[in-house]
Amino acid sequence: MFTRRGDTGETDTGLRERVSKGSALVNVEGTLDETIAFIGNALALTLWDDIRNDLRQMQDDLFTLGEHITTSGKGRKIVPERTVWLEERVKVYRSEIGKIRLFVVPDGSQQATSLHMARTVSRRLERYAVSVTRELQLEMPILTYLNRISSLLFMLAIVSNKRQGIEERIWSIHRES
């Protein structure tokens, strides 16, 4: 689909305002779109219904978060309860994993590595959103949600490997000779 309206390097916001495709808003939205797509890739590879349901919920939340940003809070909003949901899901998976040893090398199953990719893109989204917070006047529930989503994606990656019997590879700062 094309409208030709973007041929001059501008696009419409959720409030029907024209902005540069190089604007902070469009860059945040583009990185948000990438995050949703990487989660979709992980979703396509997942083997378990609980993880599949959580990934779908994260995608839905991120669409809501995008609307929150593009409409300056005049549409649907990401609410603090969604961050609480992320925290609760992290606790559930954390109890399944047991002790976490750092630093986990993103490795193992295709499912786990796809979740690690989604995690790293979500971290980039968070960093970018923080860097433009003043310019876009992002509200705290947005930043808090973005800070927690990578934690859940990390837990899902670890759980995916564990459920498949794959041991995490741990990087050590002390090299063995």
Per the structure, the complete domain to which residue 116 belongs is given by 19-170
Q: Is 74 part of a structural domain of the chain? A: yes
Quick one: what percent of the chain has pLDDT higher than 90? 62
141, part of any domain = yes
Judge whether 160 lies within some domain. Answer: yes
Number of structural domains (the chain) is 1
For the stretch 117-157, pLDDT in tens is 999 999 999 999 999 888 888 889 999 999 999 999 999 99
Measured over the CA atoms of residue 131, residue 127, residue 35 and residue 67, the dihedral's sign is negative
> Does 91 have pLDDT greater than 90?
yes
Residue 12 covered by a domain = no
In a domain, 9, yes or no: no
Supply the pTM of this predicted model: 0.88
- The tokens 């991120």 sit on which residue? 62
Instruction: Answer for the pair 151, 50: CB distance below 8 angstroms, yes or no.
Output: no
Residue 1 lies in a domain: no
164: CATH: 1.20.1200.10
